[in-house]
């Protein structure tokens, strides 16, 4: 990650930084790249929505999205340079070469970035301003995340031939199996963002540490589920998965091209 030295100030610079992370993880065959690949697609879609003026405050949304992305980019850079990172990111980074399923690797990173980073970025972006002014645009990003996450889950079968086992056991609700729900994570992030916005800087540090501990425990459950039967099933699933990161990314190719947010008839009915 030697090339990851400049802190992005625009969404295009964020995309460029994510491209560098993806390139490096492909060379290292590191499963950290799976999240970077999916996250790049989310960011590109947000960039498109901003260009189409689909947010209430598009200038603010770009600044917010860049600040949010920088929390991940900084964590990657810090970890590679042996600098302190949050517990939530450290456990995800430490497991990059572990024999976990693709979805476990992906969920551990999503857990850190949404449950911890998103709340911090939202509260920081609205410092000194009413955070409720951000709520509508925050919800619109949720819709983008929901659409892409659903598509990625469908694509997982291309690189994880036995993923259907989790769907079968969980009755198509994977979060019941791995104890992670995008819907709950986004709600958790907003709740914490509102709480953080009302605290002093000193109080924020204490609260952030508390959130980090909660997110860490959830990552531990994702990494090692409590059920021994589930642990065994995950090991079987992982054994038959694609092991090359580049091929996993190829199998997860997603074209997410929704209707404009305000006009989408399915926006309010999203389940993720």
User: What residues does each domain of the chain span?
Assistant: 11-252
pTM for this predicted structure? 0.85
Quick one: how far is CA 71 from the chain centroid?
A: 11
Helices marked H in the chain — which ranges? Answer: 11-28, 32-51, 58-80, 87-94, 102-110, 119-125, 135-155, 164-170, 174-178, 182-197, 201-223, 228-239, 245-251
Dump pLDDT digits (tens) for 23-49. Answer: 999 999 999 899 999 899 889 989 999
Give the pLDDT confidence score for residue 261 in this predicted structure.
Answer: 43
Q: Which has more pLDDT, 96 or 146?
A: 96
Quick one: how far is CA 25 from the chain centroid?
A: 17
């Amino acid at each position: 990650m030697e090339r990851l030295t400049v802190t992005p100030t625009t969404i295009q610079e964020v995309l460029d930084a994510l491209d560098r992370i993806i390139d490096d993880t492909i060379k290292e065959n590191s499963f950290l790249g799976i999240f970077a690949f999916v996250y790049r697609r989310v960011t590109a879609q947000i960039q498109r929505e901003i260009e189409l003026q689909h947010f209430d405050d598009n200038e603010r949304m770009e600044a917010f999205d860049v600040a949010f992305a920088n929390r991940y980019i900084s964590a990657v850079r810090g970890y590679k340079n042996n600098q302190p990172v949050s517990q939530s990111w450290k456990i995800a980074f430490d497991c990059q070469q572990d024999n976990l399923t693709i979805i476990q690797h992906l969920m551990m990173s999503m857990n850190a970035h949404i449950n911890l980073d998103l709340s911090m970025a939202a509260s920081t972006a609205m410092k000194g301003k009413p955070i409720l002014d951000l709520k509508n645009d925050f919800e619109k990003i949720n819709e983008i995340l929901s659409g892409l996450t659903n598509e990625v889950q469908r694509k997982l079968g291309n690189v994880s031939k036995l993923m259907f086992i989790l769907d079968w056991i969980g009755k198509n609700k994977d979060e019941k199996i791995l104890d992670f729900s995008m819907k709950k994570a986004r709600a958790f992030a907003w709740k914490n963002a509102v709480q953080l916005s009302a605290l002093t800087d000193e109080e924020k540090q204490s609260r952030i540490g508390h959130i980090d501990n909660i997110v860490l425990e959830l990552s531990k459950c994702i990494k090692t589920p409590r059920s021994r039967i589930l642990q065994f099933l995950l090991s079987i699933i992982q054994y038959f998965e694609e092991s090359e990161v580049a091929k996993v990314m190829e199998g997860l190719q997603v074209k997410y091209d929704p209707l404009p947010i305000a006009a989408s008839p399915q926006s309010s009915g999203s389940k993720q």
